[in-house]
Structure 1
């Protein structure tokens, strides 16, 4: 039997025998953590998220026992026995006039070091340590990155900072829940490492008293741990919040608090809890402000939950108030739509129309970011593309190399009709591209020429540079290692062979690129095939035709040409290629073909087919009689069809398909 000289010694032995992060009914841990003290210096690397403390500030990490930490905790536990347990109403508080006077002293401080200097004259009362950290954080918010790094370095070097951290560590057990949350948030925002003693102590106390946190404190805590590294302790706190939310969701009255909770629970939260949070948000839609609607997209994306009723409500509100949102928020909404695989034609149209109507206030970079995001969403903002076309033709010199590549990507993959501006636009972009030849990489050159090929434009200088023997050999080698490069080469190869561009004498003999990319496993649409055979006859229909090893045709109908007398000549035969296309092959909201489908139809015409395009999503929604009539009108129209069939009308509301980026 072990004998103890005092209760303190007995508590020390108990703490060594149990997990330091012992949890209440909401928290558990998987390992016993022991701590040792270490020191580390300030990191001055540009852009680094965490600014580490100087050697004087110590932190603990997994390692050997530390008697010092245990003794501090035992003294704190002993001191707490003389005070009431619980939250703010049970803890001693300063007089109102003293609190107001202290706030006045630090409110005009303009940097963290100013706050620390002021503490020498007016020491912070125990209950206002969190206010000190918060003021230090607020003072650097509007600084430039360079100023912030300099001020934080001075802060970590200031002798009062270590003392302040020690006070926060010692008094954490006496803080109110709100002070704990704000202290942790400010300390983390100031760049103090998660491994420091002050952060770990705050986390420990928060875990022990999480059940006592009110709605506001939980919101602040959620916003803090959302940006912290996903360590075991943070993961345990996340799990605790999830368990706590199961009972607390009905009590939440603030939209901001609810959104903070949605963001912190994360993607690995059980689906039933995600939907419970989304349903609660939907019940509060009448309280949504414009920023709430934007932030709701981000919150649902953080949970990876496509909850259409809530997204539809937010989309409508944003569309009605689109002029109230700055660039960054509109772009964030569109990016969240892409993450959630959510499509809303009204939302996309309102954003594109707003940007088009206020076009002069947007820079090239902003417009290009909008266009790139719209392309990811497979949405073609016609008016915005036309407006940007005009700007490029007038001020093409303002484009960077990245801008040129982005412009070519958007215009080619969305298959935008440039109309009368086609040649001038392509010449302008090509001229800017050629100006960057001294510093362009081989892959960037291939990407650009490949996009130009999709647009049926083959400028001489870029082609000569790309098809140079040494350049081509290196690209072919990369194509064996990269599927994307291989597909770019394959598309360019097809365009050069089938489009038959007028090339200079030096390129008359195009080398055989020998690019083979595994074709997608496609199957015939049996319903379309059965309907076609029903009114055309089985003998005239051949199914599953593959051209050039790439282009799959559902069925080919062979008919005699009505205007040719010589039945034995090739011109006397009509070959009608029936091509079934999924919604992902079209720009969202229309049946305007995207890049892959557009190039396929163009090349089938070069191969002497008459392509007939069947939108599967329209076809499958009709009755049997309507299906027959639809195919008859497409295949045997009243007048002879020599061009690609392109349906110009909008589709019915169909917002849930997930378009994939063309692999070109």
Structure 2
């Protein structure tokens, strides 16, 4: 056991390439073969500690799981399971977490799970609890996950920085989002933020995404740290961080600005895969550099043009879609895309067909509305898609009736060209001091009439923790502006939480600009 453990400790510190070379030498060495034979013979006579550490070393050295040696050690562990102390249970749990499921492994895991249920109240070590959480996995019953959660929370005051990092992965392995544990781990990470390796930062963000855990303070601290140390990271690392933020719909504004500068200064690192990632990040998070907007777009456009000869149809559509979301038309790529569309090549397969149709529709709408030659139409043909108002808009409808005095003073569920939809439309005089009845404004060519579009949107349409619209909502707002509407975005969740009186006052402030309403009332707040 000591020999195997020492070999494993030396082996794990090698690089992947060295490990492959050394592994072959180890397996071919006559002494290793004799060691394995001796281990097989003495398996049932070994102490509990030697048994689990031998299995751990053998598995991690890469001895195939279907060999007689590994299967024998697994079966003996199963026989001696009740004799294992908490430390041995922890080592065994770590080993099983890295093994493939087979008959013997599954049986041992089931037995270990029963043992954990019995002993969980006696385990006081967070590291051991972490290993057990990883081992029992996502298929464990909820009551056992809750027991493990409570056991960790009892010892949370003794949480160390390394254990805080590990706990994220343990909760992911269990597929269990424990807000109290994650909050405590986040706090510990923020206290030691300068000691986090870059790879661990990505792991944390990916874990938050998997667990659907949103902690704006943690994300902001991590972004500030990467931003302040951007000079020591290469562009691919920053891109990896921004991509992780994009999956969380969190916009690290300053870092996105810095990265945009790096891209314009040296775009050579942008292969096709990286280019598509950058376009997706900036379009979804709706970020455009203030000072170098044109240069940034032209740089990305130039990179895309280089890849046009070998780009796939799906990749071309994604790239064009991202550019269009940002309000930029890459003409050469769009010409190629439309040519492929005319030959029915874009939607020829059924894979993700609905998504492709949606993206292609958006591209075509952008090509028309975002074109420099597009002029605001004298009137827009609208229709009421339904007189029924959804439950989440009833409060808004009642507030508008109370504010405007009559339901004829606004339209609801308005369907526009280009498949755009407006929750409520209001028409006003040119000074926006008087709301005009809908029947009295049928003459849509009257330039003195101002049209307001009220959109009640969920928090998911904004970047996390802000009222900054994501790309698709920003595009819709831009296009409604092009069609002659003044767009009012209302965060519906916050609106629903208002009293009826506050709701009326809020809409009054939005409709009549001389009555401003405090922005804080509708700003998304961090609850962590």
- Tell me which residue corresponds to 1:606: 482
Query: Does the 8 Å contact 2:467/2:523 carry over to 1?
Result: yes
Q: Does 1:651 align with 2:524?
A: yes
Query: Does the 8 Å contact 1:434/1:462 carry over to 2?
Result: yes
1:121-160 to structure 2, matched below 5 A, reads 130-160=1-31
**SS state at 2:218 partner:** helix
**Superposed CA offset, 1:521-560 (max 9, x none):** 9776111122112212201222112223633321222334
Query: Does the 8 Å contact 1:591/1:648 carry over to 2?
Result: no
Distance across 2 between alignment mates of 1:315 and 1:550: 43
Distance across 2 between alignment mates of 1:633 and 1:545: 22
User: How many angstroms does 1:648 deviate by?
Assistant: 11
Deviates more, 1:616-625 or 1:461-470: 461-470
Deviates more, 1:246-255 or 1:481-490: 481-490
**Superposed CA offset, 1:393-448 (max 9, x none):** 22222322222111111111001142222111111121222223343222222211
Q: Does 1:540 align with 2:416?
A: no
User: How many angstroms does 1:491 deviate by?
Assistant: 1.5
Please report the RMSD computed on the Cα atoms of aligned residues, expressed in angstroms: 2.6
Query: Does the 8 Å contact 1:480/1:486 carry over to 2?
Result: no
- Tell me which residue corresponds to 1:595: 471
The one of 540, 545, 550 equivalent to 2:419 is 550
Distance across 1 between alignment mates of 2:495 and 2:32: 70
Query: Does the 8 Å contact 1:592/1:648 carry over to 2?
Result: no
- Tell me which residue corresponds to 2:386: none
- TM-score, with structure 2 as normaliser: 0.90
Q: Which runs of 5+ in 2 are unaligned?
A: 375-388, 435-439
1:324-339 to structure 2, matched below 5 A, reads 324-339=195-210
1:83-482 to structure 2, matched below 5 A, reads 130-469=1-340, 473-478=344-349, 482=353
Distance across 1 between alignment mates of 2:182 and 2:243: 22
C-alpha change, 1:419 and 1:523, in structure 2 (3 Å) is farther
Query: Does the 8 Å contact 1:479/1:485 carry over to 2?
Result: no
Query: Does the 8 Å contact 1:556/1:577 carry over to 2?
Result: yes
Query: Does the 8 Å contact 1:331/1:370 carry over to 2?
Result: yes
- Tell me which residue corresponds to 1:559: 428
User: How many angstroms does 1:274 deviate by?
Assistant: 0.8
- Tell me which residue corresponds to 2:506: 630
**Superposed CA offset, 1:484-519 (max 9, x none):** 32222121112112223459xxxxxxxxxxxxxxxx
**SS state at 2:157 partner:** helix
User: How many angstroms does 1:185 deviate by?
Assistant: 1.0
**SS state at 2:497 partner:** coil
- TM-score, with structure 1 as normaliser: 0.72
Query: Does the 8 Å contact 1:542/1:555 carry over to 2?
Result: yes
Query: Does the 8 Å contact 2:495/2:522 carry over to 1?
Result: no
Deviates more, 1:298-307 or 1:430-439: 430-439
User: How many angstroms does 1:629 deviate by?
Assistant: 0.7
**Superposed CA offset, 1:234-278 (max 9, x none):** 222222122111221222122211100111111111112111111
User: How many angstroms does 1:233 deviate by?
Assistant: 1.9
Query: Does the 8 Å contact 1:479/1:486 carry over to 2?
Result: no
**SS state at 2:348 partner:** helix
Deviates more, 1:580-589 or 1:138-147: 138-147
Which protein is richer in helix relative to its size?
A: 2
User: How many angstroms does 1:317 deviate by?
Assistant: 1.4
User: How many angstroms does 1:471 deviate by?
Assistant: 7.7
Q: Does 1:617 align with 2:485?
A: no
Distance across 2 between alignment mates of 1:280 and 1:210: 21
Distance across 1 between alignment mates of 2:521 and 2:331: 34
**Superposed CA offset, 1:123-149 (max 9, x none):** xxxxxxx12222232333233434333
**Superposed CA offset, 1:140-197 (max 9, x none):** 3233434333332333333443332221111111111111111111111121121111
Distance across 1 between alignment mates of 2:291 and 2:521: 19
Distance across 2 between alignment mates of 1:604 and 1:646: 22
The one of 354, 358, 371 equivalent to 1:483 is 354
Query: Does the 8 Å contact 2:455/2:487 carry over to 1?
Result: yes
**SS state at 1:474 partner:** coil
Distance across 1 between alignment mates of 2:306 and 2:341: 21
C-alpha change, 1:408 and 1:602, in structure 2 (3 Å) is same
User: How many angstroms does 1:468 deviate by?
Assistant: 2.4
Distance across 1 between alignment mates of 2:112 and 2:414: 57
